[in-house]
Structure 1
Amino acid sequence: MASDTGASYGSTLRYKSVERIKAVGKHSLIGASGEFSDFQEILRYLDELTLSDHMWDDGNSLGPKEIHSYLTRVMYNRRNKFDPLWNSLVLGGVKKGPKGEEKYLGMVSMIGTHFEENHIATGFGNHLAIPILRAEWREDMTFEEAVKLVEKCLLVLLYRDRSSINKFQIAKITTEGATIYPPYSLKTYWGFSHFENPAQGAVGSW
């Protein structure tokens, strides 16, 4: 899972060290785009959920599939109250089951639309990153190969999205637990001729 660390105030990129990937319980990671204060509200819901689950002390714990199902109900409920949480959420994780390691990756939108997939993106990533992932993703990728592919997607998004920021965070999760790496920057090159004069040859007065 990966995201940038920028947060906007209106159309102003004001905060540049906002971490939008969090661990949930023992087996899951959640990432969010959209309104950051609404994401904080969702994290409070998840804290209550995981605490309640822990207090049962029955040797079982919520996996990513159960948490994703919970989030779909929360988002759809708020949408029906005409008070939606303005986020797109990605929920991924790994849990040991009767068939071995059970990997899970799901997405839920602000109106409760949800699905599972091998690779997921939100926002501009739906248009620019998903085609790259469809072309280059393999099920047997190593962690290093996966990071390079994700960085390629992040670089394309950085070049194309004025609200993006060159500061990213990568996270992974295994049956051993979640690891959220410190933010870092990617090497960029802005000398392309189309970057210097993007309107050259465009039709109209813009």
Structure 2
Amino acid sequence: MLTAFITEEKWKYDHARIAKKAQYKKQRYLKDNVLKLSPEHLLTLQAEIKKLSDEFEAYKAEWLGAKAEASAQATEGNASTVDENQAADETASRDFAVVAADTSAVQSILVHKTDEDKIMLLDSHKLMGASGEPGDRVQFTEFIQKNLHLYQFRNNMPLSTAATANFTRGELATALRKNPYSVNIILAGFDKDAGASMYYIDYIATLHKIDKGAFGYGSYFCLSLMDKLYRPDMSVEEAVDLVDKCIKEIRLRLVVAPQNFAIKIVDKDGARDYARREIGGDSPATA
């Protein structure tokens, strides 16, 4: 019985791979020839891509079902282990990501403004927090934002958070050999299939997927606080409270501490302002 389940699982897995490969080929063809195709051909291609995507999802669901059934047939002990691992995975998954940054624009010993937004809204479900030289920061984050919009316009689908992180890393790596950007990035996003995720990308194009992270002088205090207090199953309120603890520590211990901070969140409802922390008084962000 177990052999039959394994055979069925492999068959569905192979068919899912074939459908996904065909979908990728048509998407690549559409991307390379979008300006040459007629409107009718574009509509036909998009319909074919949608059909292949639905076919892949159907095979994937059947494959996962056969895989779970085969595992359940093995032994009671194995079934118990699978259940425990699944519970651990569900506990580790997150429904949101929080990004915070100071709002000071400074040069040398001068503060030019205290309402500079350093967290770029890339699209409806992605945030990019950036630190570094003001010109490089603004230019590079806008460059990434416009390229994401262009990709979505051409392909009628947005890039995932992981794909955005790799694209950003690639652009930084290319610039590193020509005219480097002095920019450090925390990228956060929410994908329907993968949930919330966060990526660390520094100015020399180092890329890591992370649960928590910080840049700048404030990171000397924030990282130790996060190591001690962070939990994968935190609620939004608990995560924001941890951010507040980091802000409090920066204001207390950093000689040139920024005055104001912005906090943004991304979850299934999208990316948006959450709150602002100001010397004169903290307040929630206005819509």
TM-score (norm 2): 0.60
- Map of 1:90 onto structure 2: 186
- 1:62-110 per-residue CA deviation (whole Å, 9 max, x = no partner) reads 12111111111111221111x221111100111011xxx4321111111
When Rg is computed on C-alpha atoms for both structures, the one with the higher figure is 2
Structure 1 pair 181/57, CA: closer, same or farther in 2 (3 Å)? Answer: same
The aligned runs of 1:1-206 (5 Å cut-off) are 1-58=99-156, 60-81=157-178, 83-97=179-193, 101-181=194-274, 183-185=276-278
**Relative contact order, CA 8 A, sep 6+: which one is greater?**
1
Instruction: Give aligned pairs, total.
Output: 183
Q: What is the rounded CA distance, in whole Å, between the counterparts of 1:39 and 1:178 in structure 2?
A: 20
- 1:29-51 per-residue CA deviation (whole Å, 9 max, x = no partner) reads 10011112211111331232122
Deviation at 1:187, TM superposition (A): 7.8
Q: What is the rounded CA distance, in whole Å, between the counterparts of 2:124 and 2:271 in structure 1?
A: 8
Answer whether contact 1:169 1:182 (CA < 8 A) is retained: yes
Q: Which secondary structure does the structure 2 equivalent of 1:116 belong to?
A: strand
**More divergent stretch after superposition (38-47 vs 83-92):** 38-47
Answer whether contact 1:4 1:164 (CA < 8 A) is retained: no
Structure 1 residues not aligned, in runs of 5+:
189-206
User: What is the letter of the counterpart of residue 256 of structure 2?
Assistant: S
User: What is the letter of the counterpart of residue 115 of structure 2?
Assistant: S
User: What is the letter of the counterpart of residue 146 of structure 1?
Assistant: A
Identity among equivalent pairs (%): 22
TM-score (norm 1): 0.82
Answer whether contact 1:13 1:163 (CA < 8 A) is retained: no
**By percentage of residues, which structure has more strand?**
1
**By percentage of residues, which structure has more helix?**
2
Structure 2 residues not aligned, in runs of 5+:
1-98, 282-287
